[in-house]
Structure 1
Amino acid sequence: MITKRYSLFELNRLVRESIECEMPDEYWVEAELSECRESRGHCYMELIQKDEQTATPIAKASAKCWANKWLTIRPYFERTTGQPLHAGMKVLLQVYPQFHEAYGFSWIVNDIDPTYTIGDMARKRQEIIKKLKDEGVFDLQKELQLPLFCQHIAVISSQTAAGYGDFCNQLADNPYGFKFETQLFPAIMQGEGVEQSIIDALERIYNSDFDCVVIIRGGGATSDMSGFDTLALAENVANFPLPIITGIGHDRDESILDMVSHTRVKTPTAAAALLIDHLKVVLDTLIDSQNRITQYVQQKLSIVNYQLSTVQEAIPRLFSVVKTRQETKIDLFAQRMLTSVDRRLVSEQHRLELIDEKLKALDPTLLLKRGYSITIHNGRAVKDATTLQPGDEIETRLAKGTVKSIIKSV
Structure 2
Amino acid sequence: MDATATPASQAYIQQEARFGARNYAPVPVVVDHAKDCLVWDVEGREYIDMMSAYSSVSHGHLHPRIVAAAQRQMEKVAVMSRAYYGTTLGPLLEKLSEVTGFERALPMNTGAEAVETAIKCARRWGHRVRGIPDGEQRILVARGNFHGRTTTIIGFSSEPEYRIGFGPFCDGFQHFDYGDMESVKAAATQHTCAVLIEPIQGEAGILVPPPGFFQQLRAWCTEHDILLIDDEVQAGLGRTGKWFAFEHEGIRPDALILGKALGGGLLPVSAFCADDRIMKVFVPNSHGSTFGGNALAAAVALEGLRVLQEEGLVEHCAEKGEYLFRRLREVQDEVRPLVRDVRGRGLWIGVDVDPSCATARELVERLAAGGVLSKETHDTVIRFAPPLTITFDLMDRAVEVFRRVALEKHRELGLGRNAV
Which has the greater radius of gyration? 1
Please state which structure has a larger fraction of its residues in strand: 1
TM-score w.r.t. structure 2 length? 0.24
TM-score w.r.t. structure 1 length? 0.24
Higher relative contact order (CA 8 A, sep 6+): 2
